[in-house]
Structure 1
Amino acid sequence: MYYNLLNILLLIGAVQGLLFTVIILFSKRFKSKSNLFLGLLILGFSLNNLQYYFLMADLISHKTFFNLIYLPYASVNMVFYYFYVKTFLYPNSKISSKEKLLFVPFLFFFIMVILYKGINAMGMMSSRFEDFFVDLLFFHEVFSLIFSLGLLYITFKTIRDFQKELRTGNLEMLNRNLNWLIILSYIGFVLCLLWLLALVVELWGTSDSNLFYYTLWIGMSFTIYILGHIGLYKFGILEEQKEIKSKRMKSGVKVEKIKAFKTGNDNLDKFRNFIMVEKNFLNSNLSLDVVADHLKLNKSYLSRIVNSELGENFTDYVNRLRVEEAKKYLEDPDFSNYTLHAIGLEVGFNSKSAFNSAFKKFTSQTPNEYKKKNLAETETI
C-alpha cells in the first residue's frame, strides 16, 4: 500500500513534467534558448521517473526494463541545468565547443545501452557482456553522481559571478533577484545527497534501498513542479522587464538627466552624484557597503553624512528615489499591462514584497492602489 502511494506520486510527477515540456517547447510565448534547456531538463527528469515507475510498479520485468525502456538520463540532466542557468543569465551567450563536450558522457553511455539492447534483440547476448553491462550501469550511476555535483558547483559559481556583475551598477543589465536559482541549486545538491545515500545502501546496506530511491524520485518530481512553475514565471517577468526598458525609451517615461550636485560638501556631493546623477539607485544590488567602497569612504562615516545632511538613512533615501521612479510607470497608461513585480524590479527593488512595503511607507498606498487611482484620473481627463 505504501509503495503504491509512492508509485502514484512518481507517475503524477512524470506526467506533470511531460505536460510542462510540451508547453515550454511548443509554445511561441516561451520560445527562448534558456527555455529550450529548461524544457529538456524537465523532460529528462520526467522520462527518468517514468521509466522507473514502470519498473517499480511491476508493469514490466527487470529484464524487459533494460531491454526496452531504460536510457541513461542521469548523465545528462545536470548538463541541461547548467546550460539553462547560463542562457537565462546571459541570453546572448553561445555554447562553446568545450562546453559541448559535456554531452560526451551521455553519448557514450547512450551508445553502450543501445548496443546492449541491439545485441540482446539479435539473440547474441553472452554472459560476459551481461556482466560487463551490469558493471557499466553501476559505473554510470557513480560517475553521473560525481559529474552532477561538479556541474552544480560550476552552475552555483556562475550565479555568484553574475551577482558580482550586478553589483558593479551596470544599468544595461536587468535587475534580477536570483535567490530562486540559488535555492534550485541547493535542491540539486540535496537530490545528489539522496542519490549518494541510495547508492551506499544498495552497495553496502542491509536494508531495502528502494525507499531511498523513491525519496530521490519523489524529490525529482517536486523539482519538476518548481522548475515548471517558477522557471516560466521568472521568464515572464524577465521578458516584461525587457519590454519595459525598450518601451521606456520610446515613451514619456525617461530616465531624467540631473545636473551634478555642487553644494560645497564634497563627500555628500559625490554620494548624491553617484546615487542620483548616475542613476545607481536603480541597481537592486546597491548597498551602503558598495557605495562606500566605490567612493573610497568609511562606511560609518558615509552613513553619518547621509543621516545628518539628508535627514534619513541610506535605505530610506534610496527607496524613496525608487518609489518616485516607480510612480512614473504606474501613472503612464502605456505601462498599465505590466506586472507590479516587473516594474518593482525595473526601478531597483529586489522583490515584490520589498516594493510594496517601501511604496506604502512613502505614499500610504500600495502600488496597485496608486496605479488604479491615477489611471482612473487619467481616463476622466
Structure 2
Amino acid sequence: MDNISLLVIVTSISLFISLFLAFFLFSIKTKQKTSNALFAIFLILTAIDVSGPLLSLVVQKPSNLGMLRNTFAFLQIPVFYLYVLSVCYSDFKLKPKYLVHLLPFLIGNVILLPRFYSVNEVSKINFLQNRQSIFELQFNHILFHTQIVVYLIAVFMLLRKTKKLYLENYAGANINSYQWLFQFTTALTILYLIALVKNIFKFSEYEYISEGINSGLLIFQLFITCWYLLKALNNPGLFRNIDSKLKLVSDIILEDKDSESLAGNEKKQEDTLLKLKQFMIAEKPFLNPSLTIQDISNTIQIPTRELSILINHELDQHFYDFVNSYRIEHAMEILKDNTKSKVTILEILYEVGFNSKSSFNTAFKKHTGSTPTDYRKILYNNVL
C-alpha cells in the first residue's frame, strides 16, 4: 500500500511539473517557438507515459485507449531528437519528411490490431495476462528499445558535430549550452537504460522487481524535469543556433580535390594571415562577445571558407580558441596595468569579450597555465 501511495504522489508531482513547464514553453514569447513547442510536446508525451499509476486507480479494465497511451512512448525520443535539431540549427523548420519518425509508433499499433484493438474485453485481459509469451508485446518492447539506442546515438553525433561547428565559426560563451545539452541527453540515456532493465524484469519471472524499479524511475524522471525547469527559467536565452549550411573544415578540405592548388597558395595564406592579425590587433573585434567568423569575413573582405581553412586547418586552432587567445592577451595587459589594479576579475572578463566567468577562467588557464586571480597575485608579488 505504501509503495502504491508513493507511486501516486510522485506521479502526481511529475505530471504537474511536466504540464506546467509545457504550458510555460507554449505561452512564452520568444524567437525559439519551434524549439519550445517541440520540448513542450516531449514533456506532454512524458506526462502521458508516467500517468499509468494514476489511471490505474480510475480505470481497472484494459482498453484500446489505455494501450494507445502506452504506445505514445514511441513518440518521445523522435520528438526529443527533433528538439535537439531545432536547438542546434537556426534555420530548422518542420518538414513533411520528418513524418518518417512516426513509423515505429505506427508499426507498434498496427501489429496490435488483430489480437488486441479488434477483440473483446475478455480477450484483451487474456492478452495482457500472458504478456510474457505474447509476440506483439515482446516485439514492441524490442522495437522501442532499439529505437531509443538509434536515436540517442544520432543525438550524441549531432551534438558532437554542432559543437565542433560552433568552435570553428563562433567565439561566444554559448559553448557551455552545448555541454549542458550533452549532460541532459546523458541523463536521459541513463533514464532509458533503467527503463530497459525494468522491462527485462517485467518479461521475466521476477516481475515484482520491475515494480520496485518503476518507483525509482519516476523519481529520477521527476528530478530531470525539475532540472530542466530550473535551467530554462534561469537561462531563457540558453542556446545560440548555428546555420545548418555551415560545413566542418575537414569536410571542406575533402571537397577540395585539387590539393596541389591548396599547397601552392602559401604566399597568399601568409598575406591573409598577416591581414587577419593586423585587423585583430588594430580593431579589436574580439571585444564583441558574439563575434563570428562571418563577421570578420565581411569586414576584411576574405571569403568565410578561406578564412575558416586558414584558422581551423592551417593554424590548427579552432576559431573559438583563436579569438579567445586575443581576449586573454588583452586581459593580461589590463592585469599588468598598475592604474587598473582595483578593476575586478569580473569587470575584466566582460571588458575583453567574455560573458561567462567559467569560460574566462578556463581559457585563461589554458593560455597562461594559471587562473586570472593567481596571475594577478604573481604580478603583485613580483612588484614587491
Which TM-score bucket, shorter chain as reference?
A: 0.5 to 0.7
| Unpaired runs of at least 5, structure 2 | 242-269, 294-308, 318-322, 334-345, 365-370, 377-384
Q: Is the 8 A contact 2:50 2:218 kept in 1?
A: yes
- What do the CA deviations read for 1:111-163 (whole angstroms, capped 9, x no partner)? 6668877645x769588977799542332222111101211111111111111
Structure-2-length-normalised TM-score? 0.61
Q: Does 1:109 align with 2:103?
A: no
Quick one: structure 1 residues 152 and 224, their matched pair in 2 at CA, closer, same or farther if it must change by over 3 Å? same
- What do the CA deviations read for 1:211-248 (whole angstroms, capped 9, x no partner)? 122222322222222333324544424489xxxxxxxx
Aligned amino acid, residue 35 of structure 2: S
Quick one: structure 1 residues 86 and 268, their matched pair in 2 at CA, closer, same or farther if it must change by over 3 Å? closer
**Residue 48 (structure 1) aligns with:** 49
**Residue 193 (structure 2) aligns with:** 193
- What do the CA deviations read for 1:307-334 (whole angstroms, capped 9, x no partner)? xxxxxxx97752354799xxxxxxxxxx
Quick one: structure 1 residues 4 and 344, their matched pair in 2 at CA, closer, same or farther if it must change by over 3 Å? farther
**Matched residues, percent identical?**
17
**Residue 318 (structure 1) aligns with:** 327
User: Secondary structure of 2:164's partner?
Assistant: helix
**Residue 259 (structure 1) aligns with:** none
**Residue 254 (structure 1) aligns with:** none
**Residue 61 (structure 1) aligns with:** 60
User: Secondary structure of 2:62's partner?
Assistant: helix
Instruction: Tell me the distance in 2 between the aligned counterparts of 1:35 and 1:239.
Output: 14
Instruction: Tell me the distance in 2 between the aligned counterparts of 1:227 and 1:83.
Output: 17
Q: Is the 8 A contact 1:82 1:151 kept in 2?
A: yes
User: Secondary structure of 2:169's partner?
Assistant: coil
- What do the CA deviations read for 1:331-366 (whole angstroms, capped 9, x no partner)? xxxxxxxxx9xx9699345x444458979859x9xx
Q: Aligned residue pairs: how many?
A: 302
Q: What's the offset of the Cα at 1:37?
A: 0.6
**Residue 214 (structure 1) aligns with:** 215
Q: What's the offset of the Cα at 1:190?
A: 0.6
1:104-253 equivalences in 2 (<5 Å) = 104-110=103-109, 119=118, 125=123, 134-170=134-170, 175-177=174-176, 178-204=178-204, 206=206, 207-231=208-232, 233-238=234-239
**Residue 264 (structure 2) aligns with:** none
**Residue 83 (structure 1) aligns with:** 82
Q: What's the offset of the Cα at 1:106?
A: 1.5
Quick one: structure 1 residues 78 and 166, their matched pair in 2 at CA, closer, same or farther if it must change by over 3 Å? same
**Residue 93 (structure 1) aligns with:** 92
**Residue 24 (structure 2) aligns with:** 23
User: Secondary structure of 1:168's partner?
Assistant: helix
Quick one: structure 1 residues 345 and 101, their matched pair in 2 at CA, closer, same or farther if it must change by over 3 Å? farther
Q: Is the 8 A contact 1:46 1:224 kept in 2?
A: no
Deviates more, 1:89-98 or 1:77-86: 89-98
Q: What's the offset of the Cα at 1:21?
A: 1.1
Q: Is the 8 A contact 1:152 1:189 kept in 2?
A: yes
Quick one: structure 1 residues 62 and 76, their matched pair in 2 at CA, closer, same or farther if it must change by over 3 Å? same
Aligned amino acid, residue 168 of structure 2: T
Q: Is the 8 A contact 2:22 2:43 kept in 1?
A: yes
- What do the CA deviations read for 1:239-281 (whole angstroms, capped 9, x no partner)? 89xxxxxxxxxxxxxxxxxxxxxxxx99996784485468467
- What do the CA deviations read for 1:74-113 (whole angstroms, capped 9, x no partner)? 2111111111111011131234554320112113335666
Q: Is the 8 A contact 1:322 1:347 kept in 2?
A: no
| Unpaired runs of at least 5, structure 1 | 241-264, 299-313, 325-339, 365-381
Q: Is the 8 A contact 2:198 2:209 kept in 1?
A: no
**Residue 302 (structure 1) aligns with:** none
Aligned amino acid, residue 99 of structure 1: Y
Quick one: structure 1 residues 198 and 236, their matched pair in 2 at CA, closer, same or farther if it must change by over 3 Å? same
User: Secondary structure of 1:23's partner?
Assistant: helix
Q: Does 1:5 align with 2:6?
A: yes
Q: Is the 8 A contact 1:145 1:195 kept in 2?
A: no
Q: What's the offset of the Cα at 1:167?
A: 1.9
Instruction: Tell me the distance in 1 between the aligned counterparts of 2:147 and 2:197.
Output: 16
